[in-house]
Amino acid sequence: MRVTIRIKLTALFALLFVVLAGVLVTTAYLFVASATTPEAQQADRQRLLEEALEEQGVTLPAAPTPMPSGRPDDAVGEVLDSIAAQVRQNVLDDLLQRSLLAFALSAVIAVALAWWLAGRVLRPVDEISEAANMLSERTLDRRLPEDGPDDEFGRLRRAFNGMLTRLETAFDARQRFAADASHELRTPLAVLRASADNVLSSPRPSKQARELAEQVEQQVGRADSLMTSLLTLARADDVIHTREPLDLADVAAEVVSAASPRATDAGVAIDLDIADAPVLGDPVLLERMLANLVDNALRYNVEADGWLRCRVWSEAGRALVEVSNTGPALAAGDIPALFARFARGDQRSEVAGHGLGLPIVARVARVHEGVIDAWPGDEGGLSVRVSLPVRAEASPS
């Protein structure tokens, strides 16, 4: 069982009560035991008798030296002393039993009260914890109520709200930066690409100019692809802007259709097997996720007689997408590294890429509350499966 702060506080409060109750029971028992000894009882009777006679005006002479009790020839005195000792012991035993019973009942009640008190003390912490668990990039505008006493928990609420304000400002600034970067970076890239196209389309460009224009166009395409991947990651990291009802089967059909000419040129056969898989999500991000899976399967394939299989279906309340391909052999231990940003396998260094395809797939799956799994093929290549929640019939559009 996980030991929580509430359990610790309950144990602490209960232990404190048990210690105090134990001291109280022990003190009461010792007090009664000392007050019921024969000497104490004899002294009390003597004192009470003297006080009563003094009230009547009678003065007792000096008391003679008392004779020791328990004389060998005083059988009646011995019996009376034995009876008095037994009565005293019975009283002490009964007191101890009743005290222990009351102690046990009080301990049970104390544990229950300590549990309730610990819950009351920690209730503000639970509220803050629940609010933190409900937060996401889309709910950073929420705040905890700050009404209440100006105590430690009140200061904690204000500090938490201040942190949310700073986070909301940071996420907004990041989103604005992504939008501004998309606009500012695409403009000079478009100018460079247009300039290269003008050179290549000219009637008789020089060999050096043509080679330079082709290199510029290639690098511009690479930069544009890298920027698109980075902006996709920024979009997924910031927020899901729109959640719309869509079918992964339709998205997969469009992606595979767009990739078919490239697959034909590469000599890769595509097997598309799709069924209804309705989900609720960002259409741009989900399209990019499937496009990256297909692009990755085409990019890292064999040179001849390769194939790519794309399956879409739904089962057990999940929408599933699986993309498999032929390709170089991969070790199972090397697969997790492929989902790290800018990380590429040793056998993939000869293929052009940025190392962002699979990381984007993993990130898009996570922001859609999905899970991703990957394993090496029996004859080489990689199989990647993404599982997303199926859209409920009553889900709003």
pLDDT of residue 43: 66
Is the pLDDT reported for residue 345 higher than 70?
no
Q: Regarding predicted confidence, which is higher, 144 or 278? A: 278
**pLDDT band at 121; cut points 50, 70, 90:** confident
Mean pLDDT of 340-358: 59
Determine contact, residues 266/306, Cβ cutoff 8 Å.
Answer: yes
* CA dist list (Å): 132 to 22, 144, 258: 42, 10, 42
Structure tokens at 273: 């097997």
Of the candidates 89, 3, 95, 2, the one whose C-alpha atom is nearest the C-alpha of residue 38 is: 89
Mean pLDDT of 101-124: 84
In the chain, % of residues over pLDDT 90 = 20
What's the rounded Cα separation, in Å, for the pair 50 and 55? 9
pLDDT of residue 323: 95
Mean pLDDT of 105-110: 84
What's the rounded Cα separation, in Å, for the pair 15 and 19? 6
Is the pLDDT reported for residue 206 higher than 90?
no
**pLDDT band at 177; cut points 50, 70, 90:** confident
pLDDT digits (tens, 9 = 90+) for 243-299: 789 999 999 999 999 999 999 999 999 999 999 999 998 888 898 899 999 999 998
Is the pLDDT reported for residue 350 higher than 80?
no
pLDDT digits (tens, 9 = 90+) for 376-396: 988 788 999 999 999 876 344
Q: Regarding predicted confidence, which is higher, 369 or 395? A: 369
Q: 343 CB contacts (<8 Å, ≥6 apart)?
A: 337, 355
pLDDT of residue 67: 47
**pLDDT band at 106; cut points 50, 70, 90:** confident
pLDDT of residue 72: 47
Model's pTM, two decimal places?
0.53
Of the CA atoms within 13 Å of residue 188, those in its CB half-sphere come to 7
Is the pLDDT reported for residue 319 higher than 50?
yes
**pLDDT band at 111; cut points 50, 70, 90:** confident
Is the pLDDT reported for residue 74 higher than 90?
no
Mean pLDDT of 46-56: 67
Please, what is the average pLDDT of the chain?
79
pLDDT of residue 86: 77
In the chain, % of residues over pLDDT 70 = 78
Is the pLDDT reported for residue 70 higher than 50?
no
pLDDT digits (tens, 9 = 90+) for 149-168: 777 778 888 888 888 888 87
Of the CA atoms within 13 Å of residue 259, those in its CB half-sphere come to 30
**pLDDT band at 351; cut points 50, 70, 90:** very low
Structure tokens at 297: 């399967």
Is the pLDDT reported for residue 7 higher than 50?
yes
pLDDT digits (tens, 9 = 90+) for 224-249: 776 776 676 666 655 555 678 999 99
